[in-house]
């Protein structure tokens, strides 16, 4: 985390106060307690993005595994949309 006196870097980005509290809880609490934290979709996306950026910066290269996870999520979303469209078509034909 950067204070206001630090210079601006390319990887600098704002962190939501709630996301920061969750990250601190993950770091400080035992796994069993941290695992009970419930995240909404937006907060989960923010945390995933922050942790990806941190991991990428630490490794100083683009992570292929993170790309794979993102591609799998896109494929799943596309598959769900296609399945829904096929179900709608089958229902329309059955009428």
**Whether residues 56 and 67 fall in one domain:** no
**Whether residues 71 and 51 fall in one domain:** no
Mean pLDDT for each consecutive 10-residue tract of the chain (95 residues)? 60 81 92 91 92 80 75 83 67 65
Residue 45 domain boundaries: 9-61
Contact between 18 and 26 (Cβ < 8 Å): no
Give me the pLDDT at residue 87, please.
67
**Whether residues 19 and 57 fall in one domain:** yes
What whole-number distance in Å separates Cα of residue 72 and Cα of residue 64? Answer: 12
The pTM is what?
A: 0.54
Give me the pLDDT at residue 39, please.
92
**Whether residues 16 and 54 fall in one domain:** yes
What whole-number distance in Å separates Cα of residue 41 and Cα of residue 76? Answer: 16
What whole-number distance in Å separates Cα of residue 39 and Cα of residue 52? Answer: 17
Contact between 55 and 63 (Cβ < 8 Å): yes
Q: Is residue 52 part of a domain?
A: yes
């Amino acid at each position: 985390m950067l204070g206001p006196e630090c210079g601006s870097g390319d990887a600098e980005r704002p962190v939501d106060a709630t996301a920061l509290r969750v990250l601190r809880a993950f770091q400080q609490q035992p796994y069993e307690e941290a695992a009970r934290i419930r995240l909404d979709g937006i907060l989960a996306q923010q945390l995933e993005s922050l942790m990806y950026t941190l991991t990428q910066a630490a490794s100083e290269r683009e992570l292929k595994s993170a790309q794979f996870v993102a591609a799998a999520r896109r494929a799943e979303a596309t598959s769900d949309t296609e399945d829904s469209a096929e179900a709608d078509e089958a229902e329309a034909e059955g009428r």
